[in-house]
Homo-oligomer: A and B are copies of this chain.
Amino acid sequence: MAGISLSRARTIIRKTLDAGKEMELQPLSVIVLDAGGNVQAFERQDGASPGRFQIAHGKAYGAVMLGMPGSAQMARAEAQAYFIAAANGALGGQLVPVPGGVLVKDAKGRVLGAVGVTGDSSDNDAAAAKAGIEAVGLVPVI
């Protein structure tokens, strides 16, 4: 299974948190999943609420399992709510279909995994994830 090495995952998380600090965002939680939808690494900043693992996971899990970043899932949810609700049911109720679930591709366009960020507005979450992914030379699809 393609994936993101632990070393790279750590850097993505740190750079995402750095971006959050620069942007003066609320405390963030950041997850990195591999291309199979499995957890590689996660960090929750001090002050974030306790359920943030589940939300970060849901954003990234939907992105990698459907091959659609959170923004595309949100557009689909607004156009056809029952489709995303049904896909969510089929995937065990784990999706959180809003921005902040970001696909990670390599330079050749292969999906390596996904990053999920939660804590501030969905758009700010996605912007922080983008900065983290670009910091390791990979390609975010937000």
Contacts and interface: CB of A to CB of B under 8 A. Distances in A.
A137 interface: no
A81 B49 CA distance: 21
Interface string A25-43: 0000000001111111111
23 contacts: A1-B1, A6-B45, A37-B51, A38-B44, A38-B51, A39-B44, A40-B44, A41-B42, A41-B43, A49-B66, A49-B67, A51-B64, A51-B90, A51-B91, A54-B65, A58-B90, A82-B85, A83-B96, A83-B97, A86-B96, A88-B89, A90-B94, A92-B92
Q: Assembly of this chain: how many copies?
A: 4
Which secondary structure characterizes the binding site on chain A? mixed
A57 B90 contact: yes
Interface of A: 1-3, 5-6, 9-10, 34-46, 48-51, 53-55, 57-58, 64-68, 77-78, 80-98, 110-112
Given A35-B36, A86-B97, A93-B89, A44 B1 contact: no
Contacts of A92: 92
Counting from the closest, the 4 A-B pairs by CB-CB distance are: A36-B36, A51-B65, A49-B67, A1-B35
